[in-house]
Amino acid sequence: MAWGIAMSDNKILRIVARFLIPLIMLFALYIQFHGEYSPGGGFQAGVVFAAAWILFVLIFGLDLGLEVIPERAMFVLMVLGVMLYCAVGLLNVAQGGLFLDFSTLLADPKAAQQAGIITVELGIGITVATVVMLIFTMFARRKREQDGTDEDAP
Amino acid sequence: MVVAIAIVHVRDLFTASMLFAIYSLISAGLFVVLDAGDVALTEAAVGAGISTLLFLATLTMVDRREAPPNSSARHHWLALAVVGITGAFLVYATLDLPEFGDATSPAQAHVGSQYIASTYDDMGIPNMVAAVLASYRSIDTLGEGFVILTAGLAVYALLSVPATRRRRRNGMGHRHE
């Protein structure tokens, strides 16, 4: 009935996933925070992080996945990500600069730009990750509802 | 190209989504060859990863086979003509495009060179794509963030309605008739 219950019985899948998921999440964080030096950034990191969570759901089931990251947390975080982005911009305005011109954040202009980029990318990463997770949750739940009604119907 | 034709031909939707993933992965490899690491990473993660997952999630809910074309005997000559003419125009338009890697093309000569010259002095970071996305073109990226947020909300609005309700309403409609 639930998403991927059959898959969770497979021992190989469970063990490989247990090994892989932390690595994928670590790689996501690497893409996120190393984005200024190598290819990457918030968007890619968010997607990779969400992919790790989706792999978890596929193997251990949706209920366990939602225990790790509840749906309410997804809503809050996906709005918070964009709000964080806006907040950095507004902070610039409050400090007498232009909207999203990071140069007022710190005394050193280069460090200020880097701080601004990292914060903004973090906001994007949080939003992307949670939106992808939310979309997947909605699909998985719809599937379960459909199965439920099919069982009730006859 | 071969993969794209295969996608159109294949009637099994599961195979088609797998082929889409392969297509995305090949594109990602192409971007790597072109030294566009950021785009390649996005294509691999979004195109080959997440979209395939969403295709599969949808496929678990719908029929796996594509419906056979209902009028296989009658060919759509008008559609073929429209596609052919549009394609011919597009090919004709590519003749006006600048040579690949041309330093004087508008894409290279506009603000790009300025960004390339000043990124390291302004930010002290080597990845120009990150600098352009997050700092020079910051407001565009903010807009993208809102687009993603809106997409998430829209999917939630569409799929949070219980699946049973629609069926019940259909049943009531039948009763009226």
pLDDT per residue as tens digits for the range B8-41: 777 778 888 888 888 888 888 888 888 887 888 8
ipTM of the predicted structure?
A: 0.76
The pLDDT, as a whole number, for residue B13 is: 80
In a domain, B176, yes or no: no
Is B54 near chain A, with CB under 8 Å?
Answer: yes
* DSSP alpha helix (H) spans, B37-127: 37-42, 51-59, 77-94, 106-109, 112-123
- With CB atoms and an 8 Å threshold, state whether B149 touches A37: no
The pLDDT, as a whole number, for residue B168 is: 46
**At B72, is the pLDDT very low, low, confident or very high (cuts 50, 70, 90)?**
low
Q: Which residues pair with A114 in a beta bridge?
A: none
Q: Which residues pair with B65 in a beta bridge?
A: B12
Count the domains in chain B.
2
Q: Which of B23, B42, B68 represents a domain boundary (last residue)?
A: B68
**Is B97 buried (19+), middle (13-18) or exposed (0-12) by CB count in 10 A?**
exposed
- Tell me the C-alpha distance between A25 and A125, whole Å: 13
Among B38, B123, B133, whose Cβ lies nearest the Cβ of A110? B123
Q: Which of B24, B47, B68 represents a domain boundary (last residue)?
A: B68
pLDDT above 90 (res B88): yes
User: How many CB atoms sit inside 10 A of residue B151's CB?
Assistant: 14
Calculate the average pLDDT of chain A: 81
Q: Using a CB-CB distance cutoff of 8 angstroms, which residues of chain A are in contact with residue B138?
A: 89, 100-102, 116, 120
**Residue ranges of the domains in chain A?**
3-152
In a domain, B159, yes or no: no
* Range ranked top by mean pLDDT from A22-26, A29-33, B4-8, B67-71: A22-26
Interface test with B, best of A43, A57, A72, A88 (most B CBs within 10 A): A43
* DSSP alpha helix (H) spans, A9-70: 11-33, 42-60, 62-68
Q: Using a CB-CB distance cutoff of 8 angstroms, which residues of chain A are in contact with residue B123?
A: 36, 110, 113-114, 117
The pLDDT, as a whole number, for residue B82 is: 92
Quick one: B90 and B62 in the same domain? no
Give tens-digit pLDDT for B100-146.
766 676 666 677 777 777 777 777 677 777 777 777 778 888 888 88
In a domain, B96, yes or no: yes
For B23, the domain range is 1-68
Is A135 near chain B, with CB under 8 Å?
Answer: yes
Quick one: B19 and B52 in the same domain? yes
Integer-rounded Cα Rg, in Å, for chain A is 19
- With CB atoms and an 8 Å threshold, state whether A47 touches B45: yes
Quick one: B98 and B59 in the same domain? no
Quick one: B115 and B89 in the same domain? yes
Angle (nearest 5°) at CA A85 between A84 and A87:
60
User: How many CB atoms sit inside 10 A of residue A60's CB?
Assistant: 22
What number is the average pLDDT over the span B80-106? 83
In a domain, B164, yes or no: no
**At B90, is the pLDDT very low, low, confident or very high (cuts 50, 70, 90)?**
very high
pLDDT above 50 (res A8): yes
Lowest mean pLDDT among B2-6, B17-21, B147-151: B2-6
Q: Using a CB-CB distance cutoff of 8 angstroms, which residues of chain A are in contact with residue B50?
A: 47, 50-51, 132
In a domain, B118, yes or no: yes
Integer-rounded Cα Rg, in Å, for chain B is 23
- Tell me the C-alpha distance between B130 and B3, whole Å: 32
Is A41 near chain B, with CB under 8 Å?
Answer: yes
Quick one: B94 and B55 in the same domain? no
What number is the average pLDDT over the span A123-138? 89
Residue B65's φ and ψ, nearest 5 degrees, are -95, 145
Give tens-digit pLDDT for A76-129.
998 998 888 888 888 888 887 778 777 777 777 777 888 888 888 888 889 989
In a domain, B85, yes or no: yes
In a domain, B30, yes or no: yes
Quick one: B134 and B84 in the same domain? yes
Q: Using a CB-CB distance cutoff of 8 angstroms, which residues of chain B are in contact with residue A78?
A: 149, 152
> A31 to each of A94, A121, A127, B42, how far by Cα in Å?
31, 11, 15, 11
Q: Using a CB-CB distance cutoff of 8 angstroms, which residues of chain A are in contact with residue B127?
A: 35-39
